[in-house]
């Protein structure tokens, strides 16, 4: 079954067979793009990107993916739009929809915003992050990276570390990992920023997991250590942010204490939690991970457009 015309709002919108098909397609597009540069699958199709929150990788990789597939991108620029005159974001989406884009990529601060507008927007919607809630296409490139680096996803042990309370990549990654077998997830964080109960409810019985407070407790067992930053913009109490700053940090000296070093991933941007000294280790995979976003998102866009 293809994902043609489907909205992608949650990482649960992907079945295992969808993921395996998309990962192979991503590899195929990677080769075709290396050989030919731009392709023409999406000729005549238009993507609208509407990012109401900051973004570097997600927005650019969707835009590059669409252009390299042969399509056109129109970017909605929040900073010069009528939102500044007081127009609502729902009205804005109605206007955008009236111009008939073929696919819409939305990032919004409000959890469930894409869910709220999907019924009156004709084009398929790809959720590029709805506040702290979910970021399904980040999970797509994360799991694609694991699949490429380790040759499998079944049976792995992964530590997801950092701000699991306000971060949206940890929930989506966890949901996508439930599509595979025999996995263990270790949630590594101080109590105050541990994984949300709602996420635990959604994965219970589908994947093995454990909460731990420090990476030292599990690092030697891990295949993957997935580091995330503190979501400073989502802390209501700046003092709490300051208190937690430095509570967990990975650098080369720390890692070199261990006999086994897992591959290190990070959705980026990194701030202080992942030191640049780690970059020189062969296990550092976060820049490749970001590049993989181009191919994973190209595969998704190609399927959703049905081209």
Is 58 one of the annotated active-site residues of the chain?
yes
* Closer residue to ligand ASP, CB minimum distance, 108 or 184: 108
**In angstroms, rounded to a whole number, what is the distance separating the alpha carbons of residues 73 and 55?**
16
Asked if 132 interacts with ligand ASP (CB under 6 A), we say: no
- Residue 127: which of 144, 148, 108 has the closest Cα? 108
Asked if 133 interacts with ligand ASP (CB under 6 A), we say: no
Q: Which of 59, 68, 135, 148 is catalytic?
A: 135
**In angstroms, rounded to a whole number, what is the distance separating the alpha carbons of residues 27 and 49?**
24
For the segment 175-234, give every residue that binds ligand ASP (CB under 6 A).
Answer: 228-229
Is 285 one of the annotated active-site residues of the chain?
no
Asked if 59 interacts with ligand ASP (CB under 6 A), we say: no
Q: Which of 58, 145, 169, 228 is catalytic?
A: 58
For the purposes of burial, counting CB atoms within 10 Å of the CB of 164, is it exposed (0-12), middle (13-18) or buried (19 or more)?
buried
Asked if 61 interacts with ligand ASP (CB under 6 A), we say: no
**Binding residue for ligand ASP, selected from 59, 118, 165, 168, defined by CB under 6 A:** 168
Is 266 one of the annotated active-site residues of the chain?
no
Q: Which of 30, 45, 57, 229 is catalytic?
A: 57
Alpha helices in the chain (DSSP H): 16-36, 57-68, 89-98, 113-117, 136-150, 169-177, 197-203, 238-244, 252-255, 286-305
**Binding residue for ligand ASP, selected from 101, 129, 159, 171, defined by CB under 6 A:** 129
**In angstroms, rounded to a whole number, what is the distance separating the alpha carbons of residues 29 and 33?**
6
Cβ proximity of 78 and 48 under 8 Å: no
**Binding residue for ligand ASP, selected from 10, 61, 145, 169, defined by CB under 6 A:** 169
Q: Which of 107, 168, 229, 285 is catalytic?
A: 107
Cβ proximity of 275 and 250 under 8 Å: yes
Distances (CA, A) of 99 to 121, 127, 130, 158, 243: 11, 19, 23, 43, 48
Cβ 95 to ligand ASP shortest distance, Å: 25
Is 57 one of the annotated active-site residues of the chain?
yes
Cβ 8 to ligand ASP shortest distance, Å: 15
Cβ 53 to ligand ASP shortest distance, Å: 8
Residues labelled as active-site residues: 57-58, 85, 107, 135
Provide the binding-site residues for ligand ASP, judged by CB under 6 A: 129, 135, 138, 168-169, 228-229, 267
């Amino acid at each position: 079954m293809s994902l043609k015309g489907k909205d992608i709002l949650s990482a649960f919108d992907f079945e295992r067979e969808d993921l395996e098909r998309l990962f192979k397609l991503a590899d195929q597009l990677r080769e075709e793009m290396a050989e030919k540069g731009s392709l023409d699958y999406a000729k005549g199709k238009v993507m609208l990107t509407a990012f109401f929150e900051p973004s570097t990788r997600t927005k650019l990789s969707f835009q590059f993916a669409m252009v390299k597939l042969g399509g056109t991108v129109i970017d909605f620029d929040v900073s010069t739009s009528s939102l500044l005159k007081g127009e609502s974001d729902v009205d804005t989406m109605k206007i955008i929809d009236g111009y008939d884009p073929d696919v819409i990529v939305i990032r919004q601060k409000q959890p469930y915003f894409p869910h709220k507008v999907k019924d009156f927007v004709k084009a398929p919607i790809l959720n590029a992050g709805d506040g702290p809630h979910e970021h399904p296409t980040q999970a797509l490139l994360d799991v694609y990276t694991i699949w490429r680096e380790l040759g499998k996803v079944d049976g792995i042990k992964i530590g997801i570390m950092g701000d699991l309370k306000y971060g949206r990549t940890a929930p989506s990654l966890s949901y996508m990992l439930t599509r595979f077998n025999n996995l263990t997830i270790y949630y590594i964080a101080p109590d105050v920023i541990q994984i949300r109960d709602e996420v635990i409810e959604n994965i219970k019985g589908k994947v093995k997991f454990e909460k731990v407070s420090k990476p030292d407790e599990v690092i030697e067992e891990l295949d993957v250590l997935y580091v995330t930053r503190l979501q400073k913009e989502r802390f209501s109490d700046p003092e709490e942010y300051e208190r937690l700053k430095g509570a967990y940090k990975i650098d080369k000296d720390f890692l070199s204490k261990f006999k086994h070093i897992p591959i290190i991933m990070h959705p980026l941007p990194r701030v202080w939690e992942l030191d640049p000294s780690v970059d020189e280790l062969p296990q550092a995979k976060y820049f490749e991970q970001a590049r993989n976003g181009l191919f994973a998102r190209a595969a998704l866009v190609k399927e959703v457009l049905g081209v």
